[in-house]
Amino acid sequence: MVVILGLEGTAWNLSAALVTEDRVIHEVESPYRPLHGGIHPREAAQHHAAELKRVVSQLIEKAQDARFSICDIDGVAFSQGPGLGPCLRTVATAARALALALNVPLIGVNHCIAHIEIGRWRCGTEDPVVLYVSGANSQVLTYHTGRYRIIGETLDIGIGNALDKFARYVGLKHPGGPKVEELAAQGTRYIHLPYVVKGMDFSFTGLTTAAKDAVDAGNSLADVCYSFQETAFAMLTEVTERAMAYCGKDEMLLAGGVGANRRLQQMLHTMCTDRGARFFVPESKYLKDNGAMIAYLGLLQLRTGQTLPIEDSAVRPNFRPDEVEVKWR
């Protein structure tokens, strides 16, 4: 049995988990919640630094209840990128220290691929087209000849970031995504907002500005939230469907924190059903940023020998998923 300790802390959630081949042994997290405004990279990193010892100690303690000891750990995996520089560096430092102290391999994983692999693992989907929608990232990907290829992506900000920026503007606390979803459920009138799909890519900044303007113009907040979701999610669904047609794949996997949105799930589910494809979405705890996904991808990479010497373990804030050679598939 192989046991991997995974550390996630690319942005808002500091999370540590122990994973083995067939299950998540335990996970402990400490989310950073900004007092005002959005995620401040240095504040988030300070939060992670202050919480790392408690989170990891608690994980080890809980694992002991499940009859696992620190000596059982075969590797330490961490999110090497993409993410916020100060957060990445803080968590990488902890991961290096743990790997050295335990004398086990250090495994640097790509955060986006970790979202995909935990989804495939939890849902049992073999070869899906993936819609990965989180705060900073929005991409449509699929596996082809040894890599996850990015078929389409945002040309500016991620959809989660767009929702959060809009929400903050109208006075809602971070993170705004779930609050926009609640308000949208009460909306009844569709207000025209910019629908921006260019080829296989999409863009959200114009939509965010137009939504702010629509609120300033006196439209009801619920109607604007409703229209924002309908527009943005239709864009994402259109590109995902085209990617499925293009690649001839009949499975679709949703990944990333915004994937918790029921309206987005509903649109994608309808699209998949209409084309005779299967739609997969993992439990919410595996959609958002979590340590288990890092540990799980670490486990896959340890098997294929994709570990890191300490001297090559610098963080990669702009690490793209198609830079990784996928040897475990």
Q: Could you list the residues that contact ligand AMP (CB under 6 A)?
A: 11, 134-135, 160, 163-164, 175-178, 181, 256-258, 260-261, 288-289
Residue 117 interacts with Mg ion (CB under 5 A): yes or no? no
User: SS in 3 state form for 196-260?
Assistant: CEECCEECCHHHHHHHHHHHHCCCCHHHHHHHHHHHHHHHHHHHHHHHHHHHCCCEEEEECHHHH
Q: Out of Mg ion, ligand AMP, none, which partner does residue 34 contact, by CB within 5 to 8 A per kind?
A: none
**Interface map 222-241 toward Mg ion (x if CB under 5 A):** --------------------
Question: What's the min distance (Å) between Cβ of 113 and ligand AMP?
Answer: 13
- Which residue of the chain is nearest Mg ion when measured via CB? 134
Q: How many CA atoms lie within 13 A of 100 on its CB side?
A: 10
Question: What's the min distance (Å) between Cβ of 134 and ligand AMP?
Answer: 3
Helix (H, G, I), strand (E, B) or coil at 164: helix
DSSP state of 154: B
Q: Which two tokens stand for residue 152?
A: 């389409």
Closest to 15 measured CA to CA, from 289, 283, 260, 287: 289
Q: Out of Mg ion, ligand AMP, none, which partner does residue 241 contact, by CB within 5 to 8 A per kind?
A: none
Q: For residues 14 and 302, which CB has a smaller minimum distance to ligand AMP in the complex? A: 14
Stretch that binds Mg ion, among 74-82, 97-105, 195-203, 281-289 (CB under 5 A): 281-289
Q: For residues 44 and 214, which CB has a smaller minimum distance to ligand AMP in the complex? A: 44
Residue 289 interacts with Mg ion (CB under 5 A): yes or no? yes
Stretch that binds Mg ion, among 31-39, 149-157, 238-246, 286-294 (CB under 5 A): 286-294
The torsion angles phi and psi of 288, rounded to 5 degrees, stand at -70, 175
Contact 109, 301 (CB under 8 A): yes
- Identity (one letter) of the amino acid at 21? E
What's the CA gap between 212 and 171, in Å, rounded?
A: 11
Q: For residues 86 and 105, which CB has a smaller minimum distance to Mg ion in the complex? A: 86
Number of residues that bind Mg ion (CB under 5 A): 2
Q: For residues 105 and 160, which CB has a smaller minimum distance to Mg ion in the complex? A: 160
Residue 134 interacts with Mg ion (CB under 5 A): yes or no? yes
The torsion angles phi and psi of 131, rounded to 5 degrees, stand at -105, 115
Residues of this chain that interact with Mg ion (CB under 5 A) are 134, 289
